[in-house]
Amino acid sequence: MKIIDFFHGNGVGENMKHVVITGSTRGIGYGLAREFLLAGCRVTINGQSQESVERSLQSLRKINPDTVEGYAARVDNRDELEQLWIYAEKHFGTVDIWINNAGIDQERKYFWEMAEEEYDKVIRTNLKGVMNGCHVAFNHMLKQGSGQIFNMEGFGSNGMMREKMTLYGTSKSAVSYFTRSLAIEAKQTNIKVGTLSPGMVATDFLRKSLDEHNRKIFNILGDKVEPVTKFLAAKVLENQNNDARIQWLTKPKVMWRFATSMISKRDIFN
């Protein structure tokens, strides 16, 4: 596995690629869409509802009204993701990059306190949604003869555990395993499969975990959306490798953040 980290430069590589991003009407997904547009790409965004898609399109079209489209689809429904691909291909042609970003958090409960509907929804979105996206994109990219698929990592991908995060961490741990194994299978094809690791990003998703105990850690290790998504988008456009892990918060960066935390105070939530 090739690790691509923060210290390896920021060139954007070849532009005018077509990028499809699931769960891209807000947060990291929206930030990625914005950065790909700024890099000159054509982008198809996705959200669960047509209202959220239209709202995001209004903003993104201020960058370039001719290079962004959107389609509402639920990632836990493979047929709807099939229609997302068809829609994207109809408007912008070949899909060069497909990013499975859509995901939901769990309620801050112990696992045994959760109803079946709650944990079923998290697994269907975070894990089956990724599998559906990979299945749709991989089969179409085989017909194209090329393409790249990236899956979004998160808490649990590195084996970290925390109370009342068991279900979410399980889903992301499974996504990491699935992606690495799929990359091995993809070696016999022209399709490249990899992961994006954004670290701790100041989204509504992260704010749900805030309390006085972990706010300090988040301010040391976390970042606002813009620098993270700018870095990730640039590295995706540069990538030529199968099984790439594009990682923002690397071990050297973590060490540097802690070493300078006493003299450099940060507040990523303001």
Per-10-residue mean pLDDT of the chain, 270 residues long, equals: 40 69 97 98 98 98 98 98 98 98 94 96 98 98 98 92 93 98 98 95 64 66 88 98 95 78 74
**What pLDDT score does 207 carry?**
60
Q: What pLDDT shows up at residue 8?
A: 35
> What is the rounded CA–CA span in Å between residue 255 and residue 90?
46
Angle at alpha carbon of residue 32, lines to 91 and 207, rounded to 5°: 135
- Does 214 fall in a domain? no
The total of structural domains in the chain comes to: 1
In a domain, 211, yes or no: no
Quote the tokens at residue 19: 């990028």
Q: Which domain holds residue 232?
A: 2-7+14-201+223-249
Please indicate, yes or no, if residue 139 is contained in any of the structural domains.
Answer: yes
Considering the domain boundaries, does residue 134 fall inside one?
Answer: yes
Residue 215 forms part of a structural domain: no
* Domain at 67, CATH number: 3.40.50.720
Flag whether 216 is in a domain: no
pLDDT at 2: 43
Question: Catalytic residue numbers?
Answer: 168
Predicted local distance difference test score (pLDDT) of residue 201: 80
Is 267 a domain residue?
Answer: no
Tell me, what's the pLDDT at 192? 98
pLDDT at 253: 80
